[in-house]
Amino acid sequence: MPSAIRANHAAHLARSALLPGEHAPLGAHWDGEGVNFALFSAHADRVELCLYTADGKTELARHTLPSLTHQVWHGYLPGAGPGTVYAYRVHGPYQPHLGHRFNAHKLLLDPYCRQLTGEFVWSDLHQGFDARHTGETEVPDRRDNQAFMPKCVVTAPLPAARAKKPRIPMSQSILYETHLKGFTIQHPGIPQAMRGKLAGMAHRDIIAYLKALGVTSVELLPIQSFISEAFLNNRNLSNYWGYNPLCLFAPHPQYLSGSSPAEIRELTDTYHDAGLELIMDVVFNHTAEGGRLGPTLSFKGIDNLSYYRLQNEDRSFYINDTGCGNTLNMTHPRVIQLVMDCLRYWADTLQVDGFRFDLATVLGRESYGFDRGSGFFDALLQDPALAGIKLIAEPWDIGPGGYQLGNFPPGWSEWNDRYRDTCRRYWRGDAGMLPEFARRLHGSSDIFEHGGRRPSSSINYICSHDGFTLNDLVSYRERHNDANGEKNLDGHRENFSDNFGVEGPTHDATIHVIRQRQQRNFLTTLMFSQGVPMFQAGDEFCRSLHGNNNAYCQDNELSWIDWQHISKEGQHQQAFVRYLISLRKRFQCVFPDTYMHESSDPGISTIEWFNSSGEIMQASHWQEHHTRTLGCLLSAPVADAPDSAAPTRIMLVFHSGRDAISFRLPQREGITDWEIVLDTASFSGQPDPGNCRVKGRLNLFSCSSVILLALNTTSEHQSHGVSEHGH
């Protein structure tokens, strides 16, 4: 828009009077002739709409919203359109002990804002209370903070999506967790201007890499707008991970090449064209406003009593079930509406394929505790716009009864930390882990097999953004988080890790070999467990954070993926992961989305457990605390098998002992011999073509895994020669 026209338009907006408008929908919406503004506040006395120049630096006018309907303040501005910059000032009582923190001296962001302009700058002017006041009673800070605040921007409707969502069943999904900036900022194939941006994540080189790797769904750490906490700002650090949300509808401005949320749609369209899914890590448990001493930026100044859970005995204090200072009040219908509207916007308008909910127990906590039939869960279950969307819970918070693994409603999947810790302890060589290890391989049926839930309820992972990388898991026994500035007291204390004799990097070739093999063991366990595998970006090529298991504030080379210096070992591991994922897809029939059990019925998928003598595991075998070898036979019936003439039977052999061992393969009718299809003793996982057949006994290296395919007289595999020797 030319500057003269822009100036005339600004003058028009300054002179225009607000019409009553409508109370729904909430937010700022353009109808082709003007913009309707609607803001919920049950306890405000008056709401002012503040209009700004396009850069957000100069205020043009203030208008009082003229109408109040169903606790929604609303007004209609004729002639306004997309690009209009605005924010609010909300008048009302400042009575913290009653839960009210209104302060019209503080500029506030619209909770439904879909685009931001300008940067947030930390200042003590954001405090709603006057910290300089020495009296016993809090008083409001009357200084204006607008110069340090971003502003809201009215957006235009987006066109229809150009690509259909892939709709990959959860049971067939392979999740790849990554950080948008860290994944792209140092990629040599991405133009400099696109690095660290949504556009970089959609670059053809990234798409090609993901497709070649074989993953189906990319799970991005938060891309909703966020800010760094004040204490990090004071240390010259930042909230790199993004779990400190500012506006839930608006994309993080630093991830945009321009300013429009249409860039999100371009990303999802590009992924869908490639047959990939995009899952967002979302934060609906708390906001960046923190607790009593935190800033007033939006919700706190709009209607603190409605939006947050407050302590009954003194409502100037916040319930802190999140550890982040505040907790959104998911028992309030308008807060549920906010989250539901936000999910619909990201899923329907911006076309993301699913959500991973941070600290998801908050979403189901009623006044009496967690309830899998909570108001939010019920609202989500019946919403047709969200049908088929992937829903993934981080099933814990720090509140009372906060650990809820296995207790989310049908249709949800959950991050399974029991899987993570059990696999780590088994491969570390801890005694007595066999029964627990088998339960995790089985899709954690002891946790999820109830109420119609399926193996896909379990999101299996060994490592995620929160904790050691896979390489560090086998290289460090202790966390090394000194760079975070918290005296190495932050992050998980117990990692169930091992360094094999040396803490951190070493030139010892023997240690290198066992560390590499252990990583392959973890990855093999992950990909051949019932449930949904998820691994974090970089674990496929031995990425290290040098022992930092809580790099949430490290927006630097430590956290960024270094694509140009992947080691020789990392290249071997990349090839291994690609091959491993191809096997998971090849033998998808032995990973049905129903729980398998032992059965004599040839028409159903079954699972059987064997000891190293080739015997079916009995109760006494499970109690042998020093046994570290386990066989697992997965069988799919003829109808489900890729070879219609015979069932598919896959033998998994896991050995976490530090000595070599001989494993007797089970004898079954129709099985003539076995073909090794994966062996973690090999860098690539692929066995020697001249020695991939075994019968009778399988000789295992220390700390190794082998995957075998049963061969029989009707199988096409019988055309190959058979080795008489064991492995």
Structure tokens at 13: 């907006």
Look up residue 167 and give its amino acid. Answer: R
pLDDT at 171: 97
pLDDT digits (tens, 9 = 90+) for 39-92: 999 999 999 999 999 999 999 999 999 999 999 999 999 999 999 999 999 999
Separation between Cα atoms, residue 16 and residue 3, nearest integer Å: 20
What is the average per-residue pLDDT within 431-454? Answer: 97
As a whole number, the mean pLDDT across the chain is 94
Structure tokens at 636: 């799919």
Separation between Cα atoms, residue 538 and residue 637, nearest integer Å: 36
Separation between Cα atoms, residue 649 and residue 672, nearest integer Å: 12
Is 348's pLDDT higher than 80?
yes
pLDDT at 726: 42
* Cα separation values, 190 from 202, 365, 667, 676, Å: 10, 43, 54, 39
Separation between Cα atoms, residue 128 and residue 143, nearest integer Å: 9
What is the average per-residue pLDDT within 358-384? Answer: 97
Q: Could you tell me how many residues make up the chain?
A: 727
- Peptide bond preceding 66: is omega within 30 degrees of 0, i.e. cis? no
Sheet with 629-636, strands from edge to edge, namely 606-610, 629-636, 648-655, 704-712, 671-679, 693-694
Separation between Cα atoms, residue 692 and residue 677, nearest integer Å: 7
Residues recognised as catalytic: 358, 394
pLDDT at 7: 57
In Å, how far from its chain's centre is CA 169? 18
pLDDT at 644: 53
Structure tokens at 500: 């094999």
The beta-carbon contacts of 608-615 under 8 Å, at least 24 apart in sequence, are 608/632, 608/633, 608/635, 608/666, 609/438, 609/633, 610/666, 612/661, 612/662, 612/663, 612/664, 613/664, 614/663, 614/664, 614/665, 614/666, 614/667
Query: Percentage of the chain with pLDDT > 90?
Result: 89
Element (H, E) at 673: strand 671-679
The residues with which 503 forms a beta bridge, in sequence order, are none
pLDDT digits (tens, 9 = 90+) for 619-676: 999 999 999 999 999 999 876 655 555 679 999 999 999 999 999 999 888 888 999 9
Separation between Cα atoms, residue 60 and residue 64, nearest integer Å: 14
Structure-token match 């509406």, residue found:
337
DSSP output for 438-507: HHHHTT-HHHH-STT--GGGEEEES--SSS--HHHHTT-SS---GGGTSTT-SS-S------TTSSS---
pLDDT at 584: 98
Is 495's pLDDT higher than 60?
yes
